């Protein structure tokens, strides 16, 4: 057998010395072990026994005034501006940014008796009530149910949404059994915020008969695919033959409303539509047939209004006529 050379012997001695050094360092670190650093915090149950919690410890910052007694903070508040909003809500940021977004504040809270059940609060500052209502209404979920809180609000199985003044709020739950906590938190937030009476005055101009109030939405730009059309409220009517979508928008002057109605008519014709008469008893109005649907366009005072993509002309005419009369009362 060949004997190891001097170089091989030196390498072997170096490796052994290195291993010995590592073993010594591990021994020293273990001798300095601090069990408190790794100890899991225990929360006392009502019976005094300890129970492990896997979530972060409650934040040490002051508890917000709006927080219900049965919730605890799970961390500090986070804030996002226009540059960082997409870091939090990637894929949806453009909706807010195009509607006047100012700032987003978020914070998580957990059920005090069971911290594994938690929710996250989103507060979007949008600059003014109109913009806040726009983002609130434009993404309303189909499985939602309206909630009577004195402001525009609706809920789903695991979330709560409402607008109050220049702010839009979302409460998103990690579980589906926190309806009571969501409602309490929403009520507290509304009570601690300034009261904004009648913040969506234009939405109240839709005739009430057969109106689906939960359908009222505000669209801020490129409405119906027309680049000149902005700040338009829409609402659905449950007509007997087919649903009808009505719209209205208050402009700066009567001249602007009339010009917008004419420009929108040209847009419809350029995109395959044709004039099909006027709405009876509605001076200055026009009916356009666009393929298999009807577009009724009118203006009165500072308002531009009508119905959009109606399948049944009679139903659309009824809704448009009632809307015209309601705007007459408004202008007096």
113-159 pLDDT, tens digit each:
998 999 999 999 999 888 999 999 988 877 788 888 888 899 998 99
- Mean pLDDT, to the nearest integer, of 84-107? 92
Q: So what's the pLDDT on residue 53?
A: 37
Cβ atoms 123, 163 nearer than 8 A = no
Give the C-alpha separation, 115 to 58, whole Å: 10
Q: So what's the pLDDT on residue 3?
A: 55
List domains and CATH numbers for the chain.
43-192 (3.40.1000), 202-331 (3.40.1000.20)
283 has pLDDT over 60: yes
- Per the model's pLDDT, the better-predicted residue between 53 and 202 turns out to be 202
Token reading at 35: 């069990």
106-116 core/surface letters (b: 16 or more CB in 10 A; e: else): bbbbbbeeebe
pLDDT band at 30 (very low <50, low <70, confident <90, very high): very low
pLDDT band at 25 (very low <50, low <70, confident <90, very high): low
236-259 core/surface letters (b: 16 or more CB in 10 A; e: else): bbebeeebbbbbbbbbeeeeebbe
- Per the model's pLDDT, the better-predicted residue between 90 and 121 turns out to be 121
pTM (global) more than 0.85: no
pLDDT band at 240 (very low <50, low <70, confident <90, very high): confident
47-64 pLDDT, tens digit each:
443 333 344 455 566 789
pLDDT band at 19 (very low <50, low <70, confident <90, very high): low
Q: CA of 259: how far to CAs of 191, 264, 298, in Å?
A: 43, 9, 11
Q: Which of 36-50, 171-185, 187-201, 304-318 has the highest average model confidence (pLDDT)?
A: 304-318
Q: So what's the pLDDT on residue 6?
A: 65
């Amino acid at each position: 057998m060949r004997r190891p050379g001097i170089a091989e012997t030196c390498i072997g001695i170096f490796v052994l010395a290195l291993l010995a050094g590592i073993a010594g360092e591990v021994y020293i670190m273990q001798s300095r072990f601090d069990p408190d650093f790794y100890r899991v915090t225990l929360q006392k149950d009502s019976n005094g026994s300890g129970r492990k919690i896997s979530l972060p410890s409650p934040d040490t910052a002051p508890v917000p005034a709006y927080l219900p007694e049965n919730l605890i903070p799970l961390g500090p508040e986070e804030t996002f501006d226009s540059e960082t909003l997409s870091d939090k809500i990637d894929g949806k940021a453009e909706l807010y940014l195009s509607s006047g977004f100012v700032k987003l504040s978020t914070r998580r809270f957990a059920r005090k008796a069971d911290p594994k059940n938690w929710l996250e609060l989103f507060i979007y500052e949008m600059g003014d009530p109109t913009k806040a209502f726009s983002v609130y209404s434009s993404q309303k979920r189909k499985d939602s149910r309206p909630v009577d809180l004195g402001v525009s609000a609706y809920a789903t199985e695991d979330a709560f949404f409402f607008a109050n003044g220049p702010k839009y709020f979302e409460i998103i739950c990690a579980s589906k059994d926190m309806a009571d906590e969501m409602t309490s938190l929403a009520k507290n937030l509304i009570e601690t915020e300034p009261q904004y009476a009648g913040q969506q005055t234009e939405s109240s101009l839709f005739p009430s008969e057969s109106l689906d109030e939960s359908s009222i939405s505000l669209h801020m730009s490129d409405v119906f695919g027309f680049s000149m059309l902005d700040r338009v409220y829409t609402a659905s009517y449950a007509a007997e033959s087919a649903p009808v979508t009505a719209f209205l928008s208050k402009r700066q002057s009567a001249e602007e409303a009339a010009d917008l109605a004419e420009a929108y008519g040209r847009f419809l014709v350029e995109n395959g539509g044709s004039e099909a008469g006027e709405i009876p008893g509605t001076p200055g109005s026009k009916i356009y047939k666009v393929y298999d649907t009807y577009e009724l366009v009118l203006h009165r005072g500072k308002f531009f209004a009508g119905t959009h993509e109606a399948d049944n002309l009679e139903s659309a005419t009824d809704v448009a006529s009632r809307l015209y009369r309601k705007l007459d009362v408004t202008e007096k």
